[in-house]
Amino acid sequence: MSFLRKLAAIFAGGADSASDAYAYHYYVRCSHCGEVIKARVDLRNELSSEFGEGDGPSGYSYRKVLIGRGRCFQPIEVIMTFDARRKPLSRSVTGGEFVGEEEYYEAQQATSAS
């Protein structure tokens, strides 16, 4: 096993467990093809600081464009805001809709069955 492969295996296997405390997961369904996409916000690296009156960030914002796995190329734009303690405050999506974890796993099963 090459060094890079080892490294990739470490990241693939350890990413979820090691960094979940700093991750916020969400699921969106593409309004065009119905694919449910699982995505994750890295709360340490992907948030932009928002500054208000006081010292330090008053909150954080997040913006990401997701594209499904090739069945269609519709971009799905996700915008979220978080408070100063990185708790989610609001979220909006263009080109799709937020769904729950259950819809994601239902969609996965539907895909593997067909």
Helices (H), the chain: 3-19, 101-113
Query: In angstroms, how far is the first alpha carbon of the chain from the final one?
Result: 34
Sign of CA dihedral 11, 14, 15, 19: negative
Which segment (10-18, 25-33, 54-62, 105-113) binds Zn ion by CB under 5 A?
25-33
Strand order through the sheet with 76-83: 48-51, 57-66, 76-83, 88-94
Candidate list 36, 68, 104, 107; residue touching Zn ion; CB under 5 A? 68
Candidate list 19, 22, 23, 33; residue touching Zn ion; CB under 5 A? 33
Which is closer to Zn ion, CB of 10 or CB of 72? 72
Which is closer to Zn ion, CB of 44 or CB of 71? 71
Q: Which residues contribute to the site for Zn ion (CB under 5 A)?
A: 30, 32-33, 35, 68, 72, 74
